[in-house]
Structure 1
Amino acid sequence: MTKAKSGTPAGHLNPLTVLAFASASIPIQALVLAIAVHLPRYFATHVGLSLAVVGTAFAMVRLIDIPIDVGIGMAMDRTRTRFGRYRVWLALGVPVMMFGLWLMLQAGPSTTQLALSGILLFTYIGYSMVYLSHLAWGGVLGPTYEQRNRVFGAVIGLGVVGAVAVLVIPILMQQQGASDSDGVRAMVWFIIAALPVTALLVLATTREPITVEHGKSFALRDYLTLLKHGNVLRLLAADFAATAAPGWMAALYLFYFQDSRGFGVVEANTLLMIYVAAGFAGAPAVAWLGNRIGKHRALMVTTMVYSLGLIVVPFLPAGNFLAFAPGMFLVGAMAAGFLVMIRALTGDIADELRLANGREWMGLMYAMTIGTTKIASGLSALTFVLLAALGYQAAEGAVNSPEAIRTLELVYIVGPIVLSMAAGFSFVGYKLTPERHAEIRRELDARDAAYAEAPGLGSLTGDDMVLPPKDLPPGPRA
């Protein structure tokens, strides 16, 4: 990969470099799926904690962790080392995340809600450091409209490997006579092992372009102005809804497919594996679509198709694997498309902000979307509390009444349909088109090149890398 004098990458991105970089998403997405589907149920069913304790702990920690994400994002954007901004945070986050996962394996029936919350918070901090630094690095690795789609298409596509792995592991373990609990523990060990391997691959093979900064140093109050920016608000609304829709379903998936749809554990996990594996096709296909019709339009298409697919689910014959498999593939491909488009749109909006203000916003922008993701995931976890209040019994061997099953069915299907449609609707009237983004990139590249060629300025680092506002070419305000 070549590098422009301004510090931004130029030219063609090497596909092998992109794939190597994307490999870090394997353990990240493995953990995302394990937390969404298996770990809450593991703590409630096998460890023996109550549904209310588990649901409250997961929801509370995700909400508490949000301001930590914002702080990490701000710190990343202000980090200046000879090794780069985001690679340092990726390297530091890996051991934190590994230790938090190990602590999860030590939980038992005597674990209190406070202790479980502490374990989850520690794990989430490490997860945020790894995930956020990887996303922000990806945002600067592919700076053009098309490159960003390809980078995040690869990131989400390879993340499917990790997600599929945590689905295959319990199936293989059960075939060997192991318990469901043993399968979940094996998932966690897989993530612990994959983290350092993929992180080292990224650090060894991928250069980090460092964007040039021209504006004054920002105070905390300046970051709050993001919440007045129309495109930022669109993005956060869409990210919340697009995360809440599949997250809501994921938390209840095994309960719904076993108690309502009549599938066994192996069949339900296999259908879920089809849903997740569809991301191999969905991520690159939606990335391609985004380059043809625009990212915001591609997001609208995926959310509409996803909602229509969900409407069909209750009408499929219960227990019929072949009837469910195509639909699971379709909605899984669309869900992967959500992620690709939202991650790529985040980088575009960060470019718009950098042109207006002269500072790097990439880390904070991804921190904010991770924040909305965690809010959505946390509220999704509260479906456990709702089910418990409505009389549904989750304990192993419990028998639920027909009324409780109907409650489960309604809770599972209605919310995600509304939320996914809302995600697409958030980008009606969006004006940061491919043509507008190309203009922004031309202005950024010209300004960065002029700065790099200015006598004595190109060699400065840290807070010295600032030009007085009067020396800046005019740009649109955020």
Structure 2
Amino acid sequence: MSQGRPQERPLSSGMVLSFSSLALPLGALAVAVAVYIPPFFASHLGVNLAAIGAAFAIVRMLDIGVDPILGLVMDRTRTRLGRYRVWVLAGGPILMAAVYAMFEAPHGVGTVYLIFWLLVFYLGNSILGLGHSAWAATLATEYHQRSRVFGVLAAAGVIGAVIVLIIPIVAAHLGLSEAEGVKSMGWFILILVPIVVALTCLRTPEHIMKTAPEKFALKDYLSLITKPDLLRLFLAQMALTLGPGWMSALYLFFFKDSRGFSAEQASLLLLVYVIAGIVGAPLTARLAMRFSKHRTLMVTTTAYSLGLCMVIVLPKANVPLAVPVMFWCGFMAAGFDLMIRAMLADVADEVRLEQGQERLSLIYALNALANKIASAFAIGLTFPLLARIGYDATAGAGNTPQAIFGLEMAYIVGPIIFVMLGGACVLGWRLDADKHADIRRQLDERDAVYAEAPIIESVGAEPAIAVLSDKGG
């Protein structure tokens, strides 16, 4: 058997689709928790706006240390089932328990209830999301293959979001209330999670490398925090989470009370926004394969901001004119997370070349940390802001023109500032396809030198590509 690393063959479409199915409930939950759960607790369960904002902010702050710890443990996990498979299997039940508790919460629950179950929710979501992203980066190691895999993952997440957005529209036609529509989302996700966890774990191969015990070197981990490329992506992730997250937190209030749309029409327009991502994610990935990832990210952030400016000038309650604008914004937003995750995988290869150890899970954990901090600010700032300007979120409440104007300014200005800042973070990015190819060549050469004998193990339905143990990961 050859001592060099074999040429990576293209991953089969069936396997990529099976693996990507886990993104369906994660994408559905991203929309449901950001857009529907806060108004659900405020309008139907009697929790005041300031308390909801405080609960989300407190949870995100408490949750900050979880992802780095998970990343450290995942990178050091060695089992016969694989490194990431065991974590995906563990995360499913945790997430299901939290989903049931939040979507079936009884009337009159308080802040403590919301904080506790949000903590459980974000723990399960972190385990699944972090394990899935790191596993994806090990499936495809070539620059353009990564764009393809992460493009399919992004599209699957969008499909999950689309399905969950259709539910309140169908519920309204069936005569169900808004609250019953939100609860139906929860049951859809509860049923979906065990199915996709099983499909992902049974159908996806994972390459298990037998390596020497990894030594913990604090300086290596500290170097990740200060590595310029990772710091830039950390800031970009924060900005590109905060911008759309800020918009999502205010979405229903803005479209109903400022733009004059009904709850059903607002859900329909949000559905258009999300559906656009099904087209936008793969096309953005193809653009990145041609023009590079960082340039594609800068183009999409600029185009998104221009589209958002159009929302405020549209005639009120005009669905036909709002549809193309929402499609444009959703198309552009689909590339944000996709590009950052694919770029992180490239940087992780550079880190492994420099340190001789696998830091993939930790790198994604740091990125998830940025996501969590930004998400905390998205709701932790916007809801108290609404309360301060005098906006009343209670169902059927009347609001003054000054309160509506404050809502409009908050909805438009915040997202544009942060999204443009996110695109600016990758100006002058140097880790392009050529540089990454050189990094992979050096990694392959080092793997061939340090490997005493090839160790090939695989768990999954398809044969694994041969993997040679390197000196640390």
| 1:291 corresponding residue in structure 2 | 289
Of residues 157, 160, 168 in structure 2, which corresponds to 1:159? 157
Equivalent of 1:179 in 177, 187, 192: 177
Q: Distance in 2 between matches of 1:217 and 1:10?
A: 29
Following the alignment from structure 2 to structure 1, what is the Cα–Cα distance between the partners of residues 113 and 356? Answer: 43
> d(CA) in 1 for partners of 2:336 and 2:131?
20
Could you say if the C-alpha distance between residues 216 and 122 of structure 1 is closer, same or farther in structure 2, counting changes exceeding 3 Å?
A: closer
For residue 115 of structure 1, report the CA deviation from its aligned partner: 2.1
The Cα offsets for residues 13-70 of structure 1, whole Å up to 9 and x where unpaired, read as 1111111111100000101111110001101111111111111111211221121111
The corresponding residue for 1:312 is 310
Q: Is contact 1:213–1:360 with CA below 8 Å preserved after alignment?
A: no
Find the counterpart in structure 1 of residue 275 from structure 2: 277
> 1:224, CA displacement in angstroms?
2.0
Which secondary structure state, in structure 2, belongs to the residue aligned with residue 79 of structure 1? coil
Corresponding residue number in structure 1 for 2:72: 74
Alignment of 1:169-208 (within 5 A): 169-208=167-206
2:331 equivalent among 314, 330, 333? 333
When residues 400 and 255 of structure 1 are mapped into structure 2, their CA distance, relative to the original with a 3 A threshold, is same
Query: Equivalent residue for 1:256?
Result: 254
Q: Deviations over 1:47-101 (max 9, x none)?
A: 1111111111112112211211111111111101111111110011001110111
- State whether residues 130 and 364 of structure 2, in contact with CA within 8 Å, keep that contact through their aligned partners in structure 1: yes
Maintained 8 Å contact 2:446/2:470 = no
Give the aligned partner of residue 232 of structure 2: 234
Task: Pick from 110, 113, 119 the counterpart of residue 112 of structure 1.
Answer: 110
Counterpart code for 1:262:
G
Q: 2: CA distance between counterparts of 1:103 and 1:145? A: 41
Checking the alignment, whether the CA contact within 8 Å between 2:292 and 2:432 is kept in structure 1 is yes
Work out whether 1:87 is the aligned partner of 2:85.
Answer: yes
Structure 1 pair 151/180, CA: closer, same or farther in 2 (3 Å)?
same
Are 1:8 and 1:211, in contact at CA under 8 Å, matched by a contact in 2? no
Give 1:341-380 correspondences, 5 Å limit. Answer: 341-380=339-378
Residue 440 of structure 2 aligns to which amino acid in structure 1? R
* Percentage identity across paired residues of the two chains: 46
CA distance in 2, matches of 1:281, 1:84: 33
Measure how far apart 1:428 and its partner are: 0.9
Instruction: Name the CA shift for 1:6/1:171 in 2 (closer, same or farther; >3 Å).
Output: farther
Corresponding residue of 2:463: none
Distance 1:296 1:400, change over 3 A: same
Q: Decide whether aligned partners of structure 1 residues 361 and 265 sit closer, same or farther in structure 2, where only a CA change above 3 A counts.
A: same
- The residue aligned with 2:424 is 425
Correspondence for 1:475: none
Q: 1:459 to 1:335 in 2, by over 3 A?
A: closer
2:341 is matched by which residue type in structure 1?
R
Distance 1:119 1:51 in 2: 18
- Post-superposition shift, 1:228? 1.1
Q: Deviations over 1:99-139 (max 9, x none)?
A: 11112244334322122101110111011111110011011
SS in 2 for 1:111: coil
Tell me how far 1:222 sits from its aligned partner: 3.0
Q: Which amino acid aligns with 1:430?
A: W
Using the TM superposition, give the Cα deviation of residue 248 of structure 1 relative to its aligned residue in structure 2, in angstroms.
Answer: 0.4
- CA, structure 1 residues 7+169, in 2 after alignment: closer, same or farther (shift >3 Å)? farther
- 1:401-412 paired onto structure 2 within 5 Å: 401-412=400-411
Question: Are 2:450 and 1:443 equivalent residues in the alignment?
Answer: no
Aligned residues of 1:275 and 1:329 also touching (Cα < 8 A) = yes
Contact 1:215 1:359 in 2 (8 A): no
Matched, 1:415 2:414: yes
2:17 maps to what in 1? 19
Counterpart of 2:34? 36
User: Judging changes above 3 Å, is the alpha-carbon distance between structure 1 residues 100 and 221 closer, same or farther for their aligned structure 2 residues?
Assistant: farther
The answer to whether structure 1 residue 245 and structure 2 residue 243 are counterparts is yes
Would you say the 8 A contact 1:136–1:366 is kept in 2? yes
| AA in 2 matched with 1:143 | T
What are structure 1's unaligned runs of at least 5 residues?
Answer: 473-478
Give per-residue Cα distances to partners, 1:422-476, cap 9 Å, x unaligned: 1111011111111000111111122223333x15x8589xxxx7749xxx9xxxx
Match of 2:148 in 1: 150
Amino acid at match of 2:142: T
Asked whether the equivalents of residues 210 and 455 of structure 2 are also in contact (C-alpha less than 8 Å), the reply is no
Measured after TM superposition, the shift of residue 171 of structure 1 is 0.8
State the alpha-carbon separation in 2 of the partners of residues 23 and 68 from structure 1: 25
Which AA in structure 2 matches 1:313?
V
Alpha-carbon distance between aligned partners in 1 of 2:295 and 2:378, rounded to the nearest angstrom = 26
SS at match of 1:278: helix
Deviations 1:291-342 (A, max 9, x none): 1111011100110101111112111111111111111111101111111101
Aligned position for 2:58: 60
Instruction: Give the structure-1-normalised TM-score.
Output: 0.93
Structure 1 stretch displaced more, 110-119 or 286-295: 110-119
CA shift in 2, pair 1:7/1:370, >3 Å: farther
Count of residues in correspondence between the two structures: 461
Distance in 1 between residues matched to 2:333 and 2:227, nearest whole Å: 26
Determine the C-alpha separation between the residues in 2 that align with 1:353 and 1:171.
Answer: 47
Q: Which blocks of at least 5 consecutive residues in structure 2 are unaligned?
A: 458-468
Work out the CA distance in 2 between the residues paired with 1:38 and 1:9: 46
Distance, in Å, in 1 between the alignment partners of 2:227 and 2:164 is 38
Following superposition, the deviation at residue 10 of structure 1 comes to: 1.7
Contact 2:28 2:160 in 1 (8 A): yes
1:7 and 1:212 in contact (8 A); partners too = no
CA–CA distance in structure 1, aligned partners of residues 173 and 271 of structure 2: 16
Seen in structure 2, the aligned counterparts of structure 1 residues 60 and 221 have a Cα distance that, compared at 3 Å, is farther
Aligned partners of 1:207 and 1:359: how far apart in 2? Answer: 22
Aligned equivalent of 1:434:
433
Structure 1 residue 387 and structure 2 residue 386: aligned? yes
8 A contact 1:215–1:467 mirrored in 2: no
In 2: Cα distance, 1:141 partner to 1:67 partner: 27
